[in-house]
Copies of this chain bind each other. A is one copy, B any other.
Amino acid sequence: MKLIENWFSERYSDNLQLSFRVSDQLLSIKTDYQRIDLFDTYDFGKLLAIDGTVQLTERDEFIYHELITMVPYHLTPKPPENALIIGGGDGGAAKRLLDLGLKHIVNVEIDDQVVEVSRRFFPSLSSAFSDARVKLLIQDGIKYVKNTSEKFDLIIIDSTDPEGPAEGLFSKEFYMDTRRIMNDGAVIVSQSGSPFYQPKAIKLAYSGMKGVFNDVRVYTGFIPTYPSGFWSFTVASPWPMKQRPVTTSGKYFNADVMEGSFRLPQFVKELIT
């Protein structure tokens, strides 16, 4: 990634970009799967970009990671004891699940270099991988789901967008395979992109899950360093989901967010009808 006068820019389209002033470029590597860049930014601290798109920053990662873990956590019939994370090589999702008290987490990341970068630059997140309750596997999540004999209470798809290596994680076939490895009452969640700029991701996730699960819902949240600042997640279960009472809060998540994040603006509703 070439920096122009110490600015890192994420192109949202040919005609729109968000730019971060950078004090240092700490890393730029091409792995077997993607390009990884690590910048030290003035406003958001360390920033991890994959193929030119912001994955996480020190300052606002809490919003994405709370939303992708704490919302589905409250939709299982009883607190989930174990979980599968596909992607999430930074460790942020595993870290939150440990904080929520889960006893066993399998985290399947395809690219070991994401894990290495996180170990160097986001130790507070990657520390999850040193916890005895977390089993980190470097392999293709699609193959893992096809072949494993383990079953889970919660499945989290913490992937990049549906172009490149993550494309198969937004397919009906993949969701059918996840169905097989669900315990009774289990819930699956996937990040599903910006409803404003990437209607494709939300449509893929929603229609794919609708073909497999009985109860499928979309929720949204505000993430300032992601395109448009507005992000969607799609959550589903073969069983009707019922919200358990919320007694914890994070820096973003709380009981109000648990309810309010499912109340969708009209244009988002229209994307999924």
Chain A residues proximal to chain B, CB less than 8 Å: 9, 13-21, 41-44, 63, 196-197, 220-222, 224, 228-230, 249-254, 256-257, 259-267, 269
Q: Which residues of B contact A14 (CB under 8 A)?
A: 21, 42
Task: Give the most central of A21, A251, A257, A265: most B CB within 10 Å.
Answer: A265
Contact A13 B230 (CB under 8 A): no
The answer, among B13, B197, B251, B259, for a CB contact under 8 Å with A260, is B259
Q: Nearest Cβ distance between residue A255 and chain B, in whole angstroms?
A: 9
Contact B228 A251 (CB under 8 A): no
Q: Which residues of B contact A19 (CB under 8 A)?
A: 9, 16-19
Q: Which residues of B contact A253 (CB under 8 A)?
A: 265-266
Q: Which 9 A-B pairs have the closest CB atoms?
A: A229-B229, A260-B263, A256-B263, A15-B42, A15-B21, A222-B230, A224-B228, A260-B260, A15-B43
Q: Which residues of B contact A42 (CB under 8 A)?
A: 13-16
Minimal Cβ-Cβ distance residue in B for A258? B263
A41 and B15 in contact, given A263-B260, A265-B257, A269-B254 (Cβ under 8 angstroms): yes
Minimal Cβ-Cβ distance residue in B for A22? B15
The answer, among B16, B228, B254, B266, for a CB contact under 8 Å with A20, is B16
Considering the chains assembled together, what is the distance between the CA atoms of A260 and B265 in angstroms? 9
Considering the chains assembled together, what is the distance between the CA atoms of A20 and B261 in angstroms? 29
Contact A251 B222 (CB under 8 A): no
Considering the chains assembled together, what is the distance between the CA atoms of A13 and B44 in angstroms? 12
Q: Nearest Cβ distance between residue A237 and chain B, in whole angstroms?
A: 21
Q: Which residues of B contact A254 (CB under 8 A)?
A: 265-266, 269
